[in-house]
Every structure is written in structure tokens, then in C-alpha cells.
């Protein structure tokens, strides 16, 4: 099979498209095993970073969205924030709605006791 594995660098894409250098690395956030990793920054406003990334992704895709649920949980020793969003895309003929999940690894941003 002659497929290509394309490595997407979300940080570089967002900087190129929107001029914002988010303190992120990792995946594209479409699964708990490929989360967007948010690095601790000053100020430590990781929730604002999550929302800003979703705003940029929505603008890039030309969709409206709203958060319908936010869930915090541990996954393989990492602290993840799951944002479930409802999307709305307006076309000439119809309104297309959907539900998507984005996963953010916020381990570095939390003040956790060691040991």
C-alpha cells in the first residue's frame, strides 16, 4: 500500500494561519491517545488556551461551535480535559450539525502534589 503518513504540527499551522504561537505540542486532539498537549505558561490560563484553539479551528473550518460538555479525567497517568462540542456548518442548501470531541493534555498546567 503506497500510503503516506502525514505528521500534522498543529502549533505551526495555527501560527501560520492566525499568528498565535500557542504553548502546545503533541497531537491534533481527536482522541484521548492523541491529545493536544498544553504546556504550562505564564499566566497559566490553559482553559483559555483550549477555547482559543477551538475558536481558531472553527474559523479555519468555517463552522460555528459551542461546548456542550467538559470532562476532566486521568488517562494513562496524564490529566486530560475532554471538550465535547456541537458544530454547525451552514451551506447553501442545509445546516449540517454534528458532535465532536477534543482532548487536551493539561498535566503540566495542574498543581499536583508529588509522591
Q: Is residue 29 part of a domain?
A: yes
Q: Is residue 5 part of a domain?
A: no
Q: Is residue 41 part of a domain?
A: yes
In tens, the pLDDT along 49-88 reads 999 999 999 999 999 999 999 999 999 999 999 999 999 9
More confident residue, 6 or 107: 107
Residue 22, pLDDT above cutoff 60 = yes
Q: Exposed, middle or buried by CB within 10 Å (0-12, 13-18, 19+), for 100?
A: middle
Q: How many domains does the chain contain in total? A: 1
Nearest to 71, CA basis, from 102, 94, 114:
102
pLDDT at 7: 63
Residue with cell 483559555: 48
Q: Is residue 11 part of a domain?
A: no
Q: Is residue 40 part of a domain?
A: yes
Read off the pTM: 0.88
Range of the domain at 37: 25-109
pLDDT band at 5 (very low <50, low <70, confident <90, very high): low
Q: Is residue 18 part of a domain?
A: no
Is there a cis peptide before residue 43, judged by omega within 30 degrees of 0?
Answer: yes
Q: Is residue 70 part of a domain?
A: yes
Q: Is residue 9 part of a domain?
A: no
Amino acid at each position: 500500500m503506497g500510503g503516506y503518513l502525514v505528521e500534522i504540527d498543529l502549533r505551526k499551522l495555527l501560527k501560520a494561519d492566525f499568528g498565535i504561537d500557542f504553548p502546545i505540542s503533541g497531537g491534533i486532539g481527536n482522541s484521548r491517545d492523541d491529545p493536544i498537549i498544553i504546556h504550562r505558561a505564564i499566566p497559566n490560563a490553559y482553559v483559555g488556551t483550549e477555547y482559543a484553539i477551538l475558536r481558531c479551528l472553527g474559523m479555519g473550518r468555517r463552522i460555528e461551535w459551542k461546548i456542550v460538555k467538559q470532562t476532566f479525567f486521568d488517562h494513562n497517568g496524564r490529566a486530560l480535559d475532554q471538550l465535547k462540542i456541537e458544530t454547525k456548518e451552514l451551506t447553501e442548501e442545509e445546516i449540517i450539525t454534528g458532535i465532536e470531541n477534543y482532548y487536551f493534555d493539561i498535566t503540566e498546567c495542574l498543581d499536583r502534589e508529588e509522591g
